[in-house]
Amino acid sequence: MLTHLKREINLHADPQKAIIFQRFFKTGKGEYGEGDRFLGITVPVLRKIAKKYKALPLNEIEILLQDPIHEYRAIALFILITQFSKADTEKQKEMFDVYVKNTKYINNWDLVDLSAPYIIGPFRRHKNKSILIQFAHSKNLWERRISILATFDYIKMSHFHTALRISKILIHDKHDLIHKAVGWMLREIGKRNQKQEELFLNKHYKRMPRTMLRYAIERFPEEKRRAYLTGKVKENE
C-alpha cells in the first residue's frame, strides 16, 4: 500500500510550486526549515490522498513520517489523525507513542499545527500533562511549539490552566515561531474568556516579546491594544 501511496503523491508534484513552498517554509541554509524538500502539492490535494489511504498500517505511517519529503510527512500525519480519532484507547496509545518518538520529523510549523491539537492534546486530555511541560523546556523548536499547540484541545473546552502554564514557560523563548504560537493560544483563550487572558497579560505583558503580545491582543478594542503596546494598562484592569 505504501508504494502505491507514494506513487500517487508523486503524480501531483508541481516543481514550480515546490520552489515557492521551499521559500515560504524557510528551507535555506540557517533557516528553521533548512534542508526540507517539497514536491509542491497543496493541502486540499494532500487531504484527499490521505483520505483514500486512511487504512494505511501504523508501521507504514511511521515510515512515511520519517521521509525527507515534506508532503509525505504531512500525509502521514493526516492519516494518523484520522485513525486516532476513531481508535480505542490502546490503539491511541500506540499512535501517541509513534508521534512522540518521531517529533524530529514533525519539523515545520504546519506539521505541528495540523497534528498536535488532534493527537498530543486529546491523548493527554484526562492524563498527566508532564510531557507537555517537558516539551516546553525542550531544545527542539518543534517540541516547544507542540507543547503550546497541544493545549488548543483544552482551550476549546474552556480549560485554560495548561495553556497558561506553558505560555509562562515560553515567555522568554527566543524564536519568533514560538512567540506567534503562544500569542495565538492566548488570543484563543481571550475569545472564550477575555478576563482570563487579561489576568495573564497584566502580570506578564511587559516581559513578553512584541510579536507574542501583538498576536495575543489582536482582537482587543483599539484603545486597550494601545494601552498594552505602550505599557499603560491600568493596574485595576
CATH number of 56's domain: 1.25.10.90
Query: 91 and 155 in one domain?
Result: no
The residue range of the domain holding 161 is 126-237
Residue 121 lies in a domain: no
Residue 150: which H helix or E strand, with range? none
Examine the fold and report which residue of 50, 82, 115 is the final residue of a domain before the chain moves on. Answer: 115
Q: What pLDDT sits at residue 235? A: 59
* β-bridge mates for residue 37, sequence order: 69
Query: 133 and 79 in one domain?
Result: no
Query: 201 and 109 in one domain?
Result: no
Q: What pLDDT sits at residue 161? A: 96
Query: 174 and 221 in one domain?
Result: yes
Return all residues near 85 (Cβ < 8 A) that are at least 6 apart.
118
Query: 201 and 166 in one domain?
Result: yes
- Per cent of the chain over pLDDT 90 is 94
pLDDT digits (tens, 9 = 90+) for 20-59: 999 999 999 999 999 999 999 999 999 999 999 999 999 9
Helix then strand then coil, in percent of the chain rounded to 5, is 65, 0, 30
Examine the fold and report which residue of 115, 145, 165 is the final residue of a domain before the chain moves on. Answer: 115
Residue 15 lies in a domain: yes
Q: Nearest 5°: phi and psi at 220?
A: -70, 155
Query: 77 and 150 in one domain?
Result: no
Q: What pLDDT sits at residue 1? A: 87
> Total structural domains in the chain?
2
What pTM value is reported for the model?
0.94
Query: 138 and 235 in one domain?
Result: yes
Query: 130 and 107 in one domain?
Result: no
Query: 235 and 136 in one domain?
Result: yes
Cα separation, 222 vs 224, in Å, equals: 5
Mean of the pLDDT values across residues 198-212? 96
Residue 120 lies in a domain: no
- Residue 98 C-alpha cell reads as 509513534
Q: Is the pLDDT of residue 234 over 80?
A: no
Q: What is the rounded average pLDDT for all residues in the chain? A: 96
Radius of gyration of the chain (CA): 19
Neighbours of 235 (CB within 10 A): 5
